[in-house]
Chain A
Amino acid sequence: MDLPDTTETEIHNLLRQRLSNITGVKLLGWNPPNAKTYGLPNILIPKFREQRRAGSDRVDACMTYEDVLILTEIKAASSEMVADIAKLRRIYSYWDLLGITQILTRQGIRFSPIPRAVVPAIAFGTLDSSLPQDFLCWHVQPGVYRQIAGVQIPEKDAEVLRRLRAAFERTQDNPEM
């Protein structure tokens, strides 16, 4: 199916709107392309454990669904996401679930329930590359919402994400599915 090009900003808006309407999703932070937001905070993750002033990574979207914490990067096309995937992997190489939840708590985020797992995610408008198998992937276009969970996501988390998929891909907005 040929889909029109959708800009990164449009993907942000579509994804945010979609997720906002799903029961069980709690949006915690959002960093739009112009890096300016008055509602949800920008979420920062320090680059290294010890080295202050080494800088921080901004995560585009941060949310919980049930007891899974999802850190998401967003671009117009999946092929543009090499650096974003590397960034999320770098975050996971330095911080475990406890570390990430601590960092978010320090930024004023309150969890209920406390996340049991953290899953990296990417969202894009054009699917033009292979997808990472350890990531949750959202393919978003106007009127089209697909969720693809990588096979390397642990089964317990995948089970939760299957429930999210059902809500995410609601057929009334997704006639071609």
Chain B
Amino acid sequence: MGVVLTASSQYEVWCDKPSDKDLVRAFSRVSAFWSRISSVQIIPNMSREKLVANPRLAAIAPLLDYDRPDMIIMLGGRPVLVIEITEHGYTGDNPLQRFARLARAAEMGIPSIHFTPFARTRYDEMLYTDNPTSARKVSSRLFEGFLRLTRVYGVPVVAMDWAVSRQGLPIRPSNDNEIRQIYGEVIDYAEHLCEHDGEHVLHGESILNCQVIARAIEATKKKAAQSNVLESEIRIENVPYPRVCQLVSEPKSIVDLIGSDYFMKGKDHKLVALRAIEDSVVESVETPGGLLDVSSARADVGRLLPAQFGEKAWLVFYSGYEWRSQPNGGIVVNTEILYCRSEFGKTVRDRNQYLVVVWPRVFWNRSHPRRIALLRELEAFVDSSQTTRLGQLIVQKRIARGIPLDHPNYVAYNADSIGTWAEGGEAGRIYRNYCDLIILNDRVLLGNHWKM
């Protein structure tokens, strides 16, 4: 006999932060469904092992494998809906920050909602002027990614718009009426999904044909169709495997692959990454059989790696970011699901293209002399604009682009500017799970699914 679930008193919600809990309480003041939720708690900060060992938390532990969603609605002790709420829209990479956690929910067969302003103004623009500043649209890659997750895993991953004020800022409620006005779509959709489809979710049955859900997917589809992003210069598809091997033996060759012009336009921090590339030497490579020193055998690198690597083309993704979890993690998951995954491939082994990420600002070895030297150079440049190789590159860029030499630069310094890999960190877990290869400044890492 199946589980009989009748009353919404069997619902509970786990939240990321106290403010999320407050929002659930606010929802409960304007919705009969939300008011019947029996328990609203904050997910404790504990290791995955401890979460799994805790009978109340074991069911949500896999949802937290990459990072923590804002709200997880449980029915009869099992998750039925994940809700992510972020006012941080903007275009470019920023909107993809939360993508990994929704991908994780989809992998587990759990539907999700991403509530965010689809277009909003940037603080750093609107704070300086009384004139209207243009709203920035969320990257359509976000919506495309949601649709792809929906198609691959057969669970709805939908986006909902957070309305913005005249200034282009997300509207915040000042009373209960406004809670419904602002969050009404989330409140009602969650109620419908939980009350009408919750048991189907628990039983792994498709709910995509439900009218309410189909409408939300259709709305997400419309947003995805409004493409608003240029072709990426740092995502190179259909790269032959020998060229990937060349990246391992000669990391500087990433500049040829991307084109040197990329580094000479836009933000100055691209040149920090270029400095790291200039000095990059891969000294060791993880292989299915273990770690190999390649400092004297770089030409043979292709033979050290899994033989299957030569059977498909590769997508090379370059990250010029410093070491930090986001947006790096979300971008990689979005790239993998949109460009590498086969049509209905449910696992990272189901690829059309393999995925390699080149991340030159990250070292395996925290104490590596090259890392220390790069950090010192960066610190010297930021503190006193001393003559450094980085300073030369910035001058070269200014001259090439006709920018005054005294134009302020926005290069900052901290220990993560040239960072170190953290296996247990959010980025570490995500990259290991989704990439086939990760080329750090000093070491090549293998995706988890290729380890013996």
Contacts from A to B (Cβ < 8 Å): 9, 32, 34, 36-41, 44-46, 51-56, 102-103, 105-108
Contact = CB atoms under 8 A, between A and B. Distances in A.
Contact of B127 (A36, A41, A44): A44
Contacts of B123: 44, 56, 107
Contacts of B165: 108
Interface residues of B, number: 25
A51 B22 contact: no
Nearest to B169: A108
B169 A39 contact: no
B26 A52 contact: no
Given A38-B26, A52-B124, A106-B126, A32 B19 contact: yes
B41 to A, nearest CB: 16
B128 A38 contact: no
B173 A38 contact: yes
Q: Which of B23, B26, B128, B166 has the most chain A CB atoms inside 10 A of its CB?
A: B128
Across chains A and B, which 4 residue pairs bring their CB atoms closest together, nearest first? Answer: A36-B19, A38-B23, A34-B17, A46-B127
Nearest to A102: B130
A9 B17 CA distance: 12
Contacts of B410: 53-54
Chain A residues touching B, majority SS: loop
Contacts, number: 59
Contacts of B127: 44-46, 56, 103, 106-107
A140 B18 CA distance: 20
B172 A38 contact: yes
B69 to A, nearest CB: 13
A53 B172 contact: no
B311 interface: no
Contact of A38 (B22, B130, B408): B22
Nearest to B128: A52
B406 interface: no
Q: Which of B19, B22, B167, B173 has the most chain A CB atoms inside 10 A of its CB?
A: B19
Interface of B: 17-20, 22-23, 26, 85, 123-130, 165-167, 169, 172-174, 408, 410
A41 B17 CA distance: 16
B128 A46 contact: yes
Given A107-B123, A107-B169, 14 more contacts: A34-B17, A37-B19, A38-B172, A39-B173, A41-B169, A44-B123, A51-B408, A52-B128, A103-B127, A105-B130, A106-B126, A107-B126, A107-B127, A108-B167
B172 A32 contact: no
Contact of A106 (B85, B167, B173): B167
Contacts of A44: 123, 127
A16 to B, nearest CB: 11
A107 B122 CA distance: 11
Nearest to A13: B18
Contact of B172 (A39, A46, A52, A106): A39
Contacts of A34: 17-19
B429 to A, nearest CB: 21
Q: Which of B124, B125, B130 has the most chain A CB atoms inside 10 A of its CB?
A: B124
11 contacts: A37-B19, A38-B85, A39-B26, A44-B123, A46-B127, A46-B128, A52-B124, A56-B127, A103-B127, A106-B126, A107-B167
A31 B130 CA distance: 24
Contacts of A52: 124-125, 128
A55 B127 CA distance: 11
Nearest to B410: A53
A61 to B, nearest CB: 15
Contacts of A40: 172
Contacts of A54: 410
Contact of B124 (A41, A53, A102): A53
A39 B125 contact: no
B22 A39 contact: yes
A166 B256 CA distance: 70
A12 B277 CA distance: 45
Contacts of A37: 19
Nearest to B86: A36
B126 A38 contact: no
Nearest to A40: B172
